[in-house]
Amino acid sequence: MNPTRGRDLALVAVGFGALAYLLLWWAYRSIPALPRTAPLSVVVIGALELQVAGHTRHRLERRPGTRPILPLTVARLAAFAKASSMTGAALAGGWAGALGYTIPRTDEFGSAGSDAITAGLGLAAAVVLLAGGLVLERVCRVRKK
């Protein structure tokens, strides 16, 4: 498995951002307001992933008081980290598209101001998930001796 490249993350984010913007442009009047708690689960998963990265690093370095970690567990964590970083990029693009659509239309639609706040929170949560995935992936890399 190759390390995640920034170019791939950027392509995913731009693609999902454009898709979200076009979807909102086409159907914003007919969808309900975005729930304010929507980004909560994403930020929790990202924070937990950052915590797992710290524990994994300590176990890989065989610090005192930690148990050794199985290589298969590290491989599974690396695959999870790569999937999380791609998901974080897709969510960041989608929330950025929603933010780009709602901010200029706060006067036109009554719920656009509230949706813009939710989109901003969602974008921040997606960045936390993206960072968690990239940090965990970096921790799981095989070190050359």
Residue 30 lies in a domain: no
pTM for this entry? 0.91
Residue 143 lies in a domain: yes
Residue 59 lies in a domain: yes
pLDDT at 76: 97
Residue 119 lies in a domain: yes
Residue 20 lies in a domain: no
129 lies in which domain range? 43-145
Residue 10 lies in a domain: no
pLDDT at 4: 92
Please spell the DSSP secondary structure of 42-78, one letter per residue.
HHHHHHHHHHHHHHHHHHHTT-TT-----HHHHHHHH
The total of structural domains in the chain comes to 1
Residue 28 lies in a domain: no
Tens digits of residue pLDDT in 128-141: 999 999 999 999 98
Q: How far is CA 16 from CA 12, 20, 113, in A?
A: 6, 6, 22
pLDDT tens digits for the chain (145 residues)?
A: 788 999 999 999 999 999 999 999 999 888 888 899 999 999 999 999 999 999 999 999 989 988 999 999 999 999 999 999 999 999 999 999 999 999 998 888 878 889 999 999 999 999 999 999 999 999 998 777 6
Residue 75 lies in a domain: yes
